[in-house]
Structure 1
């Protein structure tokens, strides 16, 4: 067993996801210093986030899940495939149930069940949905440190948390600035913006607890988080960052985000 398991993986997951939440809050604080939302900056930020999430899905989640499946004696492709598809299905269901609207969209384009909620709340919920698989991914990776199966290291788990935190920085800005544009005060825009990240510690602790209590589900849990993140990237983030025609800018930002997350995982893992 890895020596780092002398630390409580659930506590580490909590601390790591509190860091990612803090980065969301830091990004949301831009509303105090920037006057108006710039669509190019928003598209760049979302593209970067998409790149980080895609890289993390493979390097930090799917690749280890494949290795663990082989170590457990299962077909190395089966648990990752099942978990990946279940993660996407879970987010698809959540996406259809929770009411939300993406920045730049009208209330007529709101998704989820019909509601009379104000547009501001629906905007926050849209980003909150993005943060569920991110928090889950960080929690599962830290929870894996308690496993008897050799897996990575504490530095690899920290690399994922850093990567998610980095992409949360512009993501926080991407929600607080549109809220300010909707007429909210700077203070309320910041409060709602950082609130969108509160789901990450919750999902992180839940993911860590699950895999520490039920070790055999670890490859499924890792790939589940990967599937959920890829669903968010394809269904929400990529279309959103290309809404205003800044396709090249968003694409370059996505590639930069992918490379940064890859370097973090490979160099620290």
Structure 2
């Protein structure tokens, strides 16, 4: 669900759609280079690099409050976060300066349109989310007691599937901990996958993280219920307990808040 597994590599639907769009763009530009003008070879390379940079920069600027304390996080492109409409600006500028002729600039629109269509179609096919109800599953809480995942209390729920051996899980955990503190109106459940109480407690103490509702899923049953692959995965559930959205891979602070805002 919402992810593509290529052997050991797991890509979210969004990231897979980006790859498909870029590949289609490069194939289209390569065809133009062989049939129309070799200038399209250099232009396509510059267009891809500057287009990605422009879309990422636009996202950072639009969400600057989340980057102000750690500007270098702008380089963490693996987290996702692009405003694709702004990619058209550097792509167009590159076409003006590198293709130069009006005829060639008009031809450059073709791979751009093909890229947009391919990326949007792939995203639609791979990023769908079924409104799956929460499982009637009782998990042990790290600090004692148990939690029934199917029990609702009128609040939306964020479920994070993670493990201590997973580097992206460890990187995103401080942001999720801050979100838990900032959003008492949301129930956060940190469902550890396949590890024991001592191992999980030891890592949290070492990382100096204080978070509530750390649950132990020794059988790794929750990913099976939702059909997710890979770690980490962050699930956003509505107040009725049904799945509204799934984020596969490391999640950024602005994406956490955006997911919560959609639940409202």
Q: Same fold (TM over 0.5)?
A: no
TM bucket, shorter chain: under 0.3
| Structure richer in strand, relative to its length | 2
- Greater C-alpha radius of gyration: 2
Length-normalised TM-score, structure 2 = 0.26
| Structure richer in helix, relative to its length | 1
Length-normalised TM-score, structure 1 = 0.26
